[in-house]
Structure 1
Amino acid sequence: MKKVLFILLACMPLFLSAKDKKDNSNPKYLAGAVTLTDGKVTFNYELKAPALSQKEIYTQMLNWANERFKPEGDLQSRVVYSNEEKGEIAATAEEYIVFSSSALSLDRTRIYYQLFIYPKQGACNMEMTRIRYWYDENRDGGERYTAEEWITDDMALNKKKTKLAPICGKFRRETIDLKDELFKSAAEALGVHALNAPQTVPAATLQPATPAVVPSTGGELKNITFEQLPENLSEIAASGRITLTANDEEIDLKADNWGGFGKLFNKNVAYLLVDQNRIAINAVMEHSDTYQISFYTEGSTQPGVVIECKKSMAQKMSADELKSLNQSIDTTKSYTMYMGEITNVQMR
């Protein structure tokens, strides 16, 4: 109720500060400036560097990313994956966006996002996605939003799509500015900013996300698509049961071991976050190339959702580094993040 009330108040025509009034009708921030890919807010950018080889672009982009994304205070940004042979770099970011600042007040939000970089011969593609916000964190825990519910055309623009909406609009404006700064910085790292300034891809028609299918408590397991995976798997795990099966051994997991699912380099992936002190689980995962994660709804003896995975990566990470994946993580522990490519999904 608190969140719904805040959203309603945020989008009413309130009096704005001078910062909030800035550029509220600039076409740069209006219809089509925020695009969706598979239901997720995503900004894409193609950087052309015809004089450079893939290896040169990879090396310079990795150096840039390692410098741009690194921990600072309680903000945890870092490069989490790099593969020169495949031409892939991935980073998770946590930083502040400051809307206004004075001696008496500070209006800001934390922003979390992921950046994927794909170096190739003579060019480099970049993708900024999985954007989330933690606003006003020092006041009763603040408010948390996803970009999909907060900065899209329907939410952050007025009905005529001619101006930014109050509150929501400033998140949209500053996110777009951050995106532009990010892509410009990457271009300058390759020394090609004078040749081709950052340009986002043309705005695509916005489509709503595919509705999630709700698992039943009976019937046979049937294959479904990745897009049909229920969005509320974390809630199912919290109220029911979640298990890991590998090498013919089934082990109970905790709800917070589930890190979520998404896309990485155009592959469907799932994440598990395992306490490094849980020796049995880590030993099984260390010696397994494939595994499955099963979700049981409350009171059910049969799994309602089964996700089959091929292990792609195991990375030891501190709790601070994992904040961008799971805000409720136990900060007194250290974890191993297991990422698996989803090979099959079944649901009752």
Structure 2
Amino acid sequence: MKKLLFILLACLPLLGMAKDKKDNSDPKYLAGAITLEDGKVTFTHDIKAPSLSKEQLYQQMLDWANERFKPEDKLQSRVVYTNEQEGDIAASAEEYIVFSSSALSLDRTRIYYQYLIHVDNGICHMTMTRIRYWYDENRDGGQRYTAEEWITDDMALNKKKTKLAPICGKFRRETIDLKDQLFQSATDALGQKVLANETATPTVVPAQTLTPAQNGELKEVSATDLSANWSSQLQNGRITLTANEEEIEIKPENWGGFGKLFNKNVAYLLIAQDRIALSALMEQCTEYKLTFYAQGSTQPAAVIECKKSMSQKMTADDLKSLNIQADSNKSYTMYTGEITRTLLRQ
């Protein structure tokens, strides 16, 4: 009876039992954000990686899971089941979600969940399910809830389904954010594996090769038709990046070259995070254009149009492991862009 009363009071929006300055009307957290399978709140996500075998995916995901789910203080997260032949990995997770923290107060909950991974050739399927909470544990033993009774639409949204309720809503929002972080972290781990493979084994250039000319017109070509020394020729000149109607000059070392990611032609950019304007531009854009000028020329020798597909935070040690020179005092972001159009002056 005490638990039911607390639930009813906590979820009444008019009572305002908790102050929450975050946006409670973001559609990301509203109707449809919570999915049920067999009556259980369950989140799923697939990562397609056609260039990786089942064995490669399994090992990469096992390494990721062992690093992500491990005991810390009194929290007992760990990988509890592995089956390489079937491609299955299961982790039992226990961690804190912090809603707010100050010198005078700490508002947090323990969250428990299962994280399941199944891999096959070229694909990784992930599931987050069996979610439970232990809230306010230091006050009379706290309160325990399941996700099914606490963060579903009926409990965590107002009657019009336009806003999050003050207490239940913050559990719903932070759980969705945690789910997104987990799926993105696993995706980044696989992306870095593909990037390492591409760096170690450069793409073989076809017999038909093209090189930039000083004169002529810009003509559309296939990214796979470019000559093996094309990048090095253009790196000797000036490079600009254009996005959101803004143009910034970048350095030759920012250009990472061409590769394949998930069977698509891509271009890599490596940006030091202390280049604030350039980093901000890349974070805000979805599409961008790289323009290359031969040394001493005012005419573009080549233009590459890209759609941003992935970004990966990397340390200098990460880059050195990929045989890329980096300043140990800096942090970097590797941006991967799917090439949508390539123009070469011929």
Q: TM-score range, shorter-chain basis?
A: 0.5 to 0.7
How far residue 14 of structure 1 moved from its aligned partner, in angstroms, is: 2.8
In the TM superposition, what are the counterparts of 1:15-164 in structure 2 within 5 Å? 15=16, 20-164=20-164
SS in 1 for 2:66: helix
| Offset from partner CA, 1:303-344 (integer Å, 9 cap, x none) | xxxxxxxxxxxxxxxxxxxxxxxxxxxxxxxxxxxxxxxxxx
Give the conservation status (yes or no) of the 8 Å contact 2:18–2:166: no
How many angstroms does 1:144 deviate by?
0.1
Counterpart residue type for residue 8 of structure 1 = L
1-structure distance, mates of 2:193, 2:150: 31
Deviation at 1:182, TM superposition (A): 0.4
TM (norm. structure 2) is 0.54
Q: Aligned residues: percent identity?
A: 77
DSSP 3-state at the match of 2:15? coil
How far apart are the structure 1 equivalents of 2:17 and 2:3?
Answer: 21
Compute the displacement of 1:16 (Å).
6.0
Partner of 1:247: none
Aligned runs of 1:1-348 on 2, under 5 Å? 1-12=1-12, 13-15=14-16, 20-191=20-191
Alpha carbons 2:18, 2:167 under 8 Å: kept: no
2:135 partner amino acid:
Y
Structure 1 unaligned spans of 5+:
196-348
CA contact (8 A) 1:113 1:131 kept: yes
CA apart distance, 1:15: 2.9
Cα deviation, residue 59, structure 1: 0.2
- The amino acid of 2:167's aligned partner reads I
Q: Considering only aligned residues, what root-mean-square deviation do their CA atoms show, in Å?
A: 1.7
Offset of residue 194 of structure 1: 11
TM-score by length of 1: 0.54
Task: Give me the whole-angstrom Cα distance separating, in 1, the residues matched to 2:36 and 2:10.
Answer: 23
* Matched AA of 1:133: Y
Which residue identity is paired with 1:142?
G
**Unaligned runs of at least 5 residues, structure 2:** 196-346
Q: Which has the larger radius of gyration?
A: 2
- TM-superposed deviation, 1:11: 1.1
Segments ≥4 residues shifted beyond 6 Å: 192-195
**Residue 25 of structure 2: SS of its match in structure 1?**
coil
Deviation at 1:45, TM superposition (A): 0.3
Deviation (angstroms), 1:17? 5.2
Asked if structure 2 preserves the Cα contact closer than 8 Å seen for 1:135 and 1:143, the reply is yes
Distance in 2 (CA, whole Å) between partners of 1:80 and 1:194 is 27
Question: 1:117 touches 1:124 (CA, 8 Å); kept in 2?
Answer: yes
| Aligned residue pairs, count | 194
Are the equivalent residues in 2 in contact too, given 1:47–1:187 (CA < 8 A)? yes
**Distance (whole Å) between structure 1 residues aligned to residue 15 and residue 28 of structure 2:** 23
In the alignment, is the contact (CA less than 8 A) between 1:187 and 1:193 conserved in 2? Answer: no
Say if 1:17 and 1:4 are closer, same or farther in 2 by CA, change over 3 A. closer
Q: Any conservation in 2 of the 1:49–1:192 contact (CA below 8 Å)?
A: no
